């Protein structure tokens, strides 16, 4: 019975020691390799590199199964790299890391996939005694989960972290607790920064709102003053301007007459501001043995509101209706047109009775018409179409003769 108890006790001690042994094996160790300044060659006999290499190869053999399973990685990092005349410090550091990895791949029977390679660091490496060293390549085994995640990705880091949790015990829990604490501190710092930025944004928005309000009040005051000045100027202009008698005037659009389209109209000025007028146009031309034709009649009523000190400028609304018959090619078009829009212009006074009226109208005109051809003097219908035109619909340089 005593023998059985001793055997069970020995087995218990062995099992209890396993986590401690595994924990020691998973602790990270740095392996330092020195390089000659300005050189990128890896000399194993120089500055203890050979002894350090043997120590690292022994550690690789010890952890080979975990390395090959992707549960441990070798981290290769450059420190305090000096450049030379042909190469920058970054290029030298890259070659040095590659040389160390090549040596380990050949002698340690590992693969490129077993490494995570960090970038070159300008800062020197500080050893355990506080001494600052340059031109150093450090191989860390195993690489930390953070570095694996940063370089190899989340999936590789997850394998490493699961392996560490499996073998590390209390040390891993302490590390996780430290990371959690650091994370909490970082989140607290970020929260403080967000609150500071929010406070600054609120202050800026408040200042902007106050500035906008001041500008609005100033703009309203300026607008009130402008309206008062304009009203005063309008009243002064009305008082100073001579009263224009109500009158009738005869109108002739010279642009229409220039296109051989006779045009006449009448305007009745109800008062100094408002005028009602109507223009009419008519023409009918044939040539080429009546095979070509240009015929049109059109009525164009209009209401105007005169503006300005002298009441020479105006704006208004117009309407037009008429019929047309055009055959300027093999196909003729005959139909009706209607439309309307806005007009504006200015009357240039020539003397007490005559003036030139410059007019431009914009709006929409719709034309509904039949298409036809002429065969042996007979019109043959070729279809029916409708079109809408948006844009300038009226233009005129009109001679205005005030009758009374």
CATH number for position 252: 2.40.160.20
pLDDT per position as a tens digit, 192-242: 999 999 999 999 999 999 999 999 999 999 999 999 999 988 887 566 545
Cβ neighbours around 94 below 10 Å, total? 18
Choosing from 112, 135, 168, the residue where a domain stops is: 168
DSSP reduced 3-state for 261: coil
CATH number at 32 reads: 3.30.1330.60
Range of the domain at 345: 248-402
Q: Is residue 330 part of a domain?
A: yes
Secondary structure class of 281 (helix, strand, coil): strand
Structural domain total, the chain: 2
E-strand ranges in 179-311 read: 248-253, 263-269, 274-287, 292-307
| Residue 302: CB atoms within 10 Å | 22
Determine the pLDDT at residue 246.
Answer: 54
**297 phi/psi in degrees, rounded to 5:** -135, 145
SS3 category, 67: helix
CB atoms within 10 A of CB 264: 15
Rounded-to-integer distance, Cα 97 and Cα 107, Å: 16
Question: Both 364 and 255 in a single domain?
Answer: yes
Burial (Cβ within 10 Å: 0-12, 13-18, ≥19) of residue 121: middle
Question: Three-class SS of residue 372?
Answer: strand
Q: What is the CA radius of gyration of the chain?
A: 49
Same domain for 111 and 252?
no
pTM for the complete prediction?
Answer: 0.39
Is residue 215 situated within a structural domain?
Answer: no
Q: Give the 3-state secondary structure of residue 254.
A: helix
Domain limit, last residue, from 135, 168, 201: 168
Task: Specify if 160 maps to a domain.
Answer: yes
What does the pLDDT read at residue 404?
81
Provide the sign of the torsion angle of the four alpha carbons 169, 171, 175, 181, taken in this order. positive
- Kindly give the pairing relationship between strand 132-133 and strand 332-349: unpaired
Divide the 404 residues of the chain into consecutive groups of 10 and give the mean pLDDT of each group: 45 37 56 89 87 93 93 92 87 91 93 87 81 90 91 91 78 74 92 92 92 92 93 73 67 92 93 93 86 90 93 94 89 92 94 93 95 82 91 94 88
Residue 333 to residue 382: CA distance in whole angstroms: 10
Whether residue 157 is found in the same domain as residue 300: no
pLDDT value of residue 128? 79
């Amino acid at each position: 019975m005593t023998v059985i108890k001793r055997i069970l006790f020995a087995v218990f001690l062995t099992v209890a020691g396993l986590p401690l042994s595994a924990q020691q094996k998973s602790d990270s160790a740095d392996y330092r390799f020195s390089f000659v300044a300005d050189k990128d060659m890896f000399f194993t006999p120089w500055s203890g590199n050979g002894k350090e290499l043997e120590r690292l190869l022994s550690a690789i053999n010890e952890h080979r199964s975990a390395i090959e399973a992707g549960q441990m990685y070798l981290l290769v990092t450059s420190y305090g790299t000096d450049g030379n005349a042909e190469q920058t410090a970054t290029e030298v550091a890259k070659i040095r890391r590659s040389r160390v990895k090549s040596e380990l791949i050949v002698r340690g029977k590992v693969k490129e996939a077993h490494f995570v390679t960090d970038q070159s660091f300008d800062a020197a490496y500080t050893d355990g005694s506080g001494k600052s060293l340059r031109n150093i390549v450090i191989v860390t085994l195993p690489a930390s989960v953070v570095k694996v995640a940063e370089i190899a990705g989340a999936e590789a880091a997850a394998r490493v972290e699961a392996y560490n949790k499996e073998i590390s015990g209390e040390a891993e829990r302490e590390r996780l607790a430290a990371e959690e604490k650091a994370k909490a501190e970082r989140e607290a710092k970020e929260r403080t920064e967000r609150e500071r930025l929010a406070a600054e944004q609120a202050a800026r928005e408040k200042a902007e709102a106050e500035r906008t309000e001041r500008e609005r009040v100033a703009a309203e005051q300026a607008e009130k003053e402008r309206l008062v000045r304009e009203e005063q100027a309008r009243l002064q202009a009305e008082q100073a301007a001579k009263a224009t008698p109500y009158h009738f005037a005869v109108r002739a659009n010279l642009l229409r007459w220039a296109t051989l389209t006779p045009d006449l109209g009448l305007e009745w000025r109800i008062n100094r501001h408002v005028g009602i007028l109507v223009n009419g146009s008519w023409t009918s031309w044939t040539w080429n043995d009546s095979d070509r034709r240009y015929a049109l009649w059109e009525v164009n009523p209009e209401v105007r509101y005169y503006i300005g000190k002298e009441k020479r400028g105006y704006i208004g609304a117009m309407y037009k209706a008429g019929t047309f018959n055009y055959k300027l090619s093999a196909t003729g078009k005959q139909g009706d047109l209607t439309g309307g829009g806005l007009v504006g212009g200015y009357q240039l006074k020539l003397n007490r009775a005559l003036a030139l009226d410059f007019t431009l109208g914009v709006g929409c005109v719709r034309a509904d018409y039949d298409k036809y051809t002429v065969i042996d003097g007979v019109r043959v219908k070729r279809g029916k179409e409708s079109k809408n035109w948006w844009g300038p619909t009226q233009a005129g340089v009109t001679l205005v003769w005030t009758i009374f």
